[in-house]
Amino acid sequence: MTGTATREILKLTARPEVISFAGGMPAAERLPCELIRGIADELLGGARARELLQYGQTEGLKDLRAELIEYLGTIGLKAADEQLQVLSGGQQGLDLMCKAFLDKGDVVLVEDPTYLAFLQIVKTYEAIAVGVSADENGLVLGDLEDKLKKYRPKLLYTVPTFSNPTGKTYTAENRKSIIALCERYGVVVIEDDPYGRLRYDGEEVPTMKSFDTSGTVVFISSFSKTVAPSLRVAFAFGEPSLIRKLSIGKQCADVQSPALCQAIVAEYLRRGHFYPTLEKSIAAYRKRKDAFLAALDAYMPDGVRYTRPNGGLFIWAELPKNIDAAAMLPEAVARNVAYIQGCEFYADGGGRNTMRLNFSNSDEQRIDSGVKILSELIKSKL
């Protein structure tokens, strides 16, 4: 097993003087502390307190699963109880999917670039991640089919809505075609959806799962970015036979998720706090995203290209080919600005001249200063 960049970066961002565009944290001031405090107090003072501190079922708290069915309805998904597995963060779902499906040497297809922690998880199972090229519509279907034929992969991993790291969203047509191809080749699709509710502009695109008529897609989503990361409450939604594999894996991995955290999220949903609180975060993040793009437009030299995402937490920047973003990171940190070098997100290496920029966790002023510092550093390399 190898070390992880994310972890080291989470440490960096702890230094207050660092303007961190690394990480993918919600804004601390957006976290609904008082709502959660009130719910926790009622739960621990109520009739169910003992139940919430005692061992519970691996599948997850019944109330939470019931609320998840309601919640999924609000995003156009019709779920049944036996199609749900509560997870300790969406990443646990990625780990358990790999544990259930991958043997040493197996291939997993991923978008190039993709979520770096998924690449690290695949490594821990001694499996091989192969990158599929992508364009503004989503995955390049010809390349996907070639690689489905060539590698006979076990899984396709996607973050189709406000992708980590690029912030891009696959079109509805692209989603349908990906599912059709994966059905034909009998490949399970992981739809990782941590950011789907964080839309700032443009039209809602239906989830891949909503186009899935054959049970090819396992939809994994989380409340880390929309309620609170450290409650570690997430879930998987898929065919009972696949969900059962995750349940068995979770039984071995950690028995169950903490019931108190599950009950807090269940109550938070039941009391209708989710969307009203989310709306406020969306308004704040939209401002930050726009401020970030405005600063990039104002300061970045020609030859630097970047995405203009409609949602999520990230902007993806491509620097002139001669600039190595990984080599430049220590210089940036010395100037108190942090980002993640894009090469971390590539299955097959490459992307040395790219970087992932988070806009949710810095205010407009720090965004402006940080982008300015970064732009000057880049100019000095031209």
Cβ nearer to a copy of itself, comparing 187 with 234:
234
| Residues whose CB is less than 8 angstroms from the CB of residue 141 and which lie 6 or more positions away in sequence, other chains included | 174, 177, 178, 181
Number of residues in contact with a copy of itself under rule CB under 8 A = 65
Task: Give yes or no for residue 68 binding a copy of itself (CB under 8 A).
Answer: no
- Least Å distance, CB 60 to a copy of itself, is 12
60 near a copy of itself, rule: CB under 8 A: no
Binding a copy of itself by CB under 8 A: which of 20, 21, 22, 58? 58
Identify each DSSP E strand in the chain by its residue range: 19-20, 84-88, 107-111, 128-132, 134-135, 138-139, 155-158, 188-193, 217-222, 233-237, 305-306, 314-318, 337-338, 340-341, 354-358
Q: Which stretch binds a copy of itself (CB under 8 A): 127-135, 177-185, 249-257, 345-353?
A: 249-257
Q: Does 271 bind a copy of itself (CB under 8 A)?
A: no
- Does residue 241 touch a copy of itself according to CB under 8 A? no
DSSP H helices, 301-346, are 325-334
- The answer to whether the beta carbons of residues 222 and 94 sit under 8 Å apart is no
Q: How far is the CB of 204 from a copy of itself (least distance, A)?
A: 27
Contact between 44 and a copy of itself (CB under 8 A)?
yes
φ/ψ of 340, rounded to 5, equals -110, 130
Q: Are strands 305-306 and 134-135 parallel, antiparallel or unpaired?
A: unpaired
Q: Does 66 bind a copy of itself (CB under 8 A)?
A: no
Cα angle 378-198-240, degrees, rounded to a multiple of 5:
120
Return the ∠ at Cα 163 (arms to 85 and 1), rounded to 5°.
65
10 contributes a contact to a copy of itself by CB under 8 A:
yes
Nearer to a copy of itself, 230 or 380 (CB): 230
Q: Is residue 334 within the footprint of a copy of itself (CB under 8 A)?
A: no
Q: What is the DSSP string of 127-191?
A: -EEEEE-EETTEE-HHHHHHHHHHH--SEEEE--SS-TTT-----HHHHHHHHHHHHHTT-EEEE
The dihedral formed by the CA atoms of 329, 335, 338 and 340, expressed in degrees to the nearest 10:
-20
When asked if residue 283 is in the footprint of a copy of itself (CB under 8 A), the reply is: no
Q: Would you count residue 373 as binding a copy of itself (CB under 8 A)?
A: no
Q: Does 331 bind a copy of itself (CB under 8 A)?
A: no
As measured in angstroms, the least distance from the Cβ of 315 to a copy of itself is 20
**Piece in contact with a copy of itself (CB under 8 A), picked from 66-74, 99-107, 305-313, 365-373:** 99-107
* Site membership for a copy of itself, residue 150 (CB under 8 A): no
Which of 109, 129, 220, 228 is the binder for a copy of itself (CB under 8 A)?
228
Residue type, 262: Q
Distance in angstroms (rounded) separating the CA atoms of residues 91 and 194: 10
Which one of residues 248, 326, 333, 377 is an interface residue with a copy of itself (CB under 8 A)?
A: 248
Give min distance, CB of 322 to a copy of itself, in A.
Answer: 33
Is 199 strand, coil or helix?
strand
Tell me how far, at minimum, the Cβ of 250 lies from a copy of itself, in Å: 10
Residues pairing with 109 in the sheet: 130, 156
Q: Which residues would be at the binding site for a copy of itself (CB under 8 A)?
A: 1-4, 6-7, 10-11, 23, 25-26, 28-29, 31, 33, 36-37, 40-41, 44-45, 49-58, 88-89, 91-92, 95, 99-100, 103-104, 117, 120-121, 124, 224, 228-232, 245, 247-249, 251-261
